[in-house]
Structure 1
Amino acid sequence: MKPFLNETYESFRMAWEQIRSQRIRSFLTALGVIIGIVSITMMGTAISGIDKGFEKSLSMLGYDVVYIQKSSWTSMDDWWIYRNRPDLKTSYAETINGIVEGDGDSLIEIAVPQMSTFNASASYRDRSIEQVYAIGSTADYMRTASGDIEEGRFFMRHEELSATMVCVIGSEIAEGLFPGGGAVGKTIRLKNRNCRVIGVFRKQGKFLGLFSFDNQLLMPLDSFRRVFGSNRYVTMRIKLQEGAAIEEARDEIRGVMRRVRQLRPAEKDDFAINEQQAFKQQLDPIKNGIAVAGLFITGMSLFVGAIGIMNITFVSVKERTREIGLRKALGARRRTILMQFLIESVTICLLGGAVGLLTALGMTAAISAFLPEFPLPFSPALVVLSLGVSVLTGVISGFAPALSASRLDPADSLRYE
Structure 2
Amino acid sequence: MLTLRLTLESFLFAWDALKSNLLRTILSLLGVTVGIFSIIAVFTIVDSLEANIRSSLDFVGDKVIYVQKWPFEFGAEFPWWKYFNRPNPSPREFQQLRRQLGPNNKGIAIFAAKSGNTFKAGSNSVADCTLQGVSYDYRAVSNVPIKEGRYFTQQEMDGARPVAIIGATIAENLFPGTSAVGQQLKARGQTFTVIAVLEKEGKKLLTISSNDANCLIPFPMFTKLFALNITGLSGGPSASIAVKGRDEDAGLLDLEYEMRGVMRNIRGLKPREEDSFALNRPEMIASAIGKLFGVIGLVGGVIGSFAILVGGFGIANIMFVSVRERTNIIGIQKSLGAKNFFILFQFLFEAVFLCLIGGAAGLLLVWLVTLVPQDALPLTMSAARVVLGLLISVGIGIVAGIVPAVLAANLDPVIAIRAK
| Structure 2: tracts of 5 or more residues without a match | 229-235
Alignment-mate amino acid for residue 384 of structure 1: V
Alignment-mate amino acid for residue 216 of structure 1: N
Contact 1:166–1:197 (Cα < 8 Å) also in 2: yes
CA 1:124–1:20: 2 relative to 1, 3 Å: farther
2:160 is paired with a residue whose SS is coil
Alignment-mate amino acid for residue 350 of structure 2: E
State whether structure 2 residue 97 is matched by structure 1 residue 96: yes
Distance 1:35 1:414 in 2: 38
* Residue 348 (structure 1) aligns with: 354
Between 269-278 and 320-329, report the one with greater CA deviation: 320-329
State whether structure 2 residue 167 is matched by structure 1 residue 170: yes
Alignment-mate amino acid for residue 359 of structure 1: L
Deviation, 1:168, is: 0.7
Contact 1:361–1:378 (Cα < 8 Å) also in 2: no
2:71 is paired with a residue whose SS is coil
Counterpart of 2:196 (choices 199, 211, 216) is 199
CA 1:262–1:158: 2 relative to 1, 3 Å: same
Counterpart of 1:305 (choices 311, 315, 335) is 311
Between 322-331 and 306-315, report the one with greater CA deviation: 322-331
Distance 1:234 1:184 in 2: 28
Alignment of 1:153-302 (within 5 A): 153-204=150-201, 209-211=206-208, 212-230=210-228, 231-244=236-249, 245-302=251-308
Distance 1:65 1:6 in 2: 61
* Residue 69 (structure 2) aligns with: 70
2:363 is paired with a residue whose SS is helix
Contact 2:370–2:379 (Cα < 8 Å) also in 1: no
Distance 2:308 2:163 in 1: 62
Deviation, 1:170, is: 1.8
Distance 1:246 1:51 in 2: 25
2:310 is paired with a residue whose SS is helix
Alignment-mate amino acid for residue 21 of structure 1: S
1:370 is paired with a residue whose SS is coil
Counterpart of 2:374 (choices 364, 370, 374) is 370
CA 1:110–1:320: 2 relative to 1, 3 Å: closer
Deviation, 1:374, is: 4.3
* Residue 40 (structure 2) aligns with: 41
Alignment-mate amino acid for residue 392 of structure 2: V
1:238 is paired with a residue whose SS is strand
* Residue 126 (structure 2) aligns with: 129
State whether structure 2 residue 111 is matched by structure 1 residue 111: no
Distance 2:89 2:219 in 1: 15
Deviation, 1:205, is: 5.6
Deviation, 1:63, is: 1.3
Q: Percent identity?
A: 34
Alignment-mate amino acid for residue 136 of structure 1: G
State whether structure 2 residue 409 is matched by structure 1 residue 403: no
Distance 1:347 1:65 in 2: 51
Deviation, 1:199, is: 1.0
Contact 1:43–1:290 (Cα < 8 Å) also in 2: no
Deviation, 1:109, is: 4.2
Deviation, 1:218, is: 1.0
Deviation, 1:201, is: 2.0
Distance 1:23 1:121 in 2: 66
Alignment-mate amino acid for residue 124 of structure 1: A
Contact 1:117–1:133 (Cα < 8 Å) also in 2: yes
2:17 is paired with a residue whose SS is helix
**1:196-226, Cα deviation, whole Å (9 max, x unpaired):** 1111123356676332133221112232233
Counterpart of 1:361 (choices 367, 385, 406) is 367
* Residue 31 (structure 1) aligns with: 30
Between 395-404 and 240-249, report the one with greater CA deviation: 240-249
Distance 2:131 2:157 in 1: 16
| Structure 1: tracts of 5 or more residues without a match | none
**1:42-101, Cα deviation, whole Å (9 max, x unpaired):** 34434543554455445432213222111123258333443322233212111112223x
* Residue 416 (structure 1) aligns with: 419
1:267 is paired with a residue whose SS is coil
Distance 2:353 2:401 in 1: 10
Between 39-48 and 107-116, report the one with greater CA deviation: 39-48
1:341 is paired with a residue whose SS is helix
* Residue 342 (structure 2) aligns with: 336
Distance 1:409 1:87 in 2: 84
Distance 1:301 1:75 in 2: 34
Distance 1:11 1:242 in 2: 57
* Residue 79 (structure 1) aligns with: 80
Deviation, 1:167, is: 0.7
Distance 1:391 1:109 in 2: 51
Deviation, 1:41, is: 2.6
State whether structure 2 residue 388 is matched by structure 1 residue 391: no
Alignment-mate amino acid for residue 245 of structure 2: L
Distance 1:91 1:415 in 2: 97
Distance 1:109 1:350 in 2: 52
Contact 1:60–1:207 (Cα < 8 Å) also in 2: no
Deviation, 1:246, is: 1.9
CA 1:377–1:203: 2 relative to 1, 3 Å: farther
CA 1:288–1:142: 2 relative to 1, 3 Å: closer
Alignment-mate amino acid for residue 409 of structure 1: D
Query: CA RMSD of the aligned region, Å?
Result: 2.6
